[in-house]
Each structure stands twice: as C-alpha cells, then as structure tokens.
Chains A and B, each alone.
Chain A
Amino acid sequence: DAKTTQPPSMDCAEGRAANLPCNHSTISGNEYVYWYRQIHSQGPQYIIHGLKNNETNEMASLIITEDRKSSTLILPHATLRDTAVYYCIVRVTSNTGKLIFGQGTTLQVKP
C-alpha cells in the first residue's frame, strides 16, 4: 500500500470549514483513499473513501486531485466534537489484508 503524508496538527475555528490535506504521491491506479478519525482513545471511525472522483457523505467531502497524488478531507462546518486525529490511508482493494495507518493529523477545533 502507498505511503501517505499528513501534517501532524491543524487548528480550525468552530463553524468554519476544516480542510485536511493528505499526500499520496506513490499511489497506484487501483488504490482507494480512505479517511478515518479517532476521538481520544476510542476506536477509529470510518469517514469516507474514494478512487478518482470527489465524494460527499453526511460527514464530509473528499476531494482527490486529478493526478491522484493528493487529497483533501473537508469538514464543512467544524464543531468542537470534530476535534480528533484524522488518518488518511490508501488501500489496494483486491489482494492483501494489510492496512497501514500513518501518524495522522490532530485537528483541534477551537471556539
């Protein structure tokens, strides 16, 4: 699986959009981008995933660049409860069960 690079930490004002970047420059054509978040020491929670096209669900939007070398997770109206560690991972969907999490980005939403 391709390696991902994320900034270690970010701040965001409550009510504003939080834009979390992820670099995955070595991604292969059949690797999906997944985003998770972990609040305190709870189990990580799946947020969203995509392959090429931008995706949106009730939690967030995922923007993937045309060359697929990077992506951005967007929380449109961040709340204090969105304070968490956000992980971006890439996954080949067909062969192996290995899944590699990086260090993630700690997002601090401030009042």
Chain B
Amino acid sequence: EAQVTQNPRYLITVTGKKLTVTCSQNMNHEYMSWYRQDPGLGLRQIYYSMNVEVTDKGDVPEGYKVSRKEKRNFPLILESPSPNQTSLYFCASSWGRNTGELFFGEGSRLTVL
C-alpha cells in the first residue's frame, strides 16, 4: 500500500531533549516536506526537499533540522525542543517539484513540557 509513515505518532517530551520524528514513503517520490499545524494558524511549511541531499527552508524553519540522505526518508530533528514547538506535525511527499499533489502522513502530535 502506498503510504507516508511517520513515527512516533504521539510524543511527550521535555524542553531541551533532542528528538527525531521519522518520515518514510514507499512511492519513490522525489519531493518531501514537513508541516506543522497549530490552532488558528493552519498548515505551515517547515522544510522541504526536492531530492536526495537537496533541502530548503519553508516558512517556519527555526528550531528544526532535516536531512535527506536517501530518497525514502526525511527525518525532522528538534535539537533542543521548546514548548513553542508543541504542535501537530505532518510529513508529505509527491512525485516531484512539478506537482502539488501531495500525499500526507497521519501526523505526529508532539508536546514539549
């Protein structure tokens, strides 16, 4: 089944404790992206990747890192999480830069205390 898989789906952590949210897709998609969703602010793009080893900032990249060492995986790294990073996170992928037809994961709800 074609899918985008995120882990963990739920996480409660404390300020400053590094964490990684993994994202994996099995559709051989070139393009992958991370979003966060907060009440009243909608979906905001954090980082995106056009292909392996190619990443770029979205609208809200501060406090996050990403890497794209292989095509299927696009982990989101919070080096020193803070409470303002408490949010619902979505990973998405698509065939390439020339499409807005994104496939989204089920989301990862992160709480930073």
Q: Is the C-beta of B56 less than 8 angstroms from some C-beta in chain A?
A: yes
Given A42-B107, A44-B104, A101-B42, 16 additional A-B pairs, CB 8 A = A41-B88, A41-B109, A42-B106, A43-B4, A43-B105, A43-B106, A49-B101, A93-B100, A97-B49, A97-B50, A98-B59, A99-B45, A99-B48, A99-B102, A100-B59, A102-B42
Contacts of A36 in B (CB 8 A): 102
Across the interface, B58 reaches (CB within 8 A) one of A45, A89, A98, namely A98
Across the interface, A93 reaches (CB within 8 A) one of B42, B50, B99, namely B99
Contacts of A100 in B (CB 8 A): 45, 59
Secondary structure at the B interface, as helix, strand, loop or mixed, is strand
Secondary structure at the A interface, as helix, strand, loop or mixed, is loop
* A7-64 interface with B by 8 A CB criterion: 32, 34, 36, 41-46, 49
Interface residues on A, range: 20 to 34
A46 in contact with B103 given A94-B98, A97-B49, A98-B58 (CB within 8 Å): yes
Q: Is the C-beta of B43 less than 8 angstroms from some C-beta in chain A?
A: yes
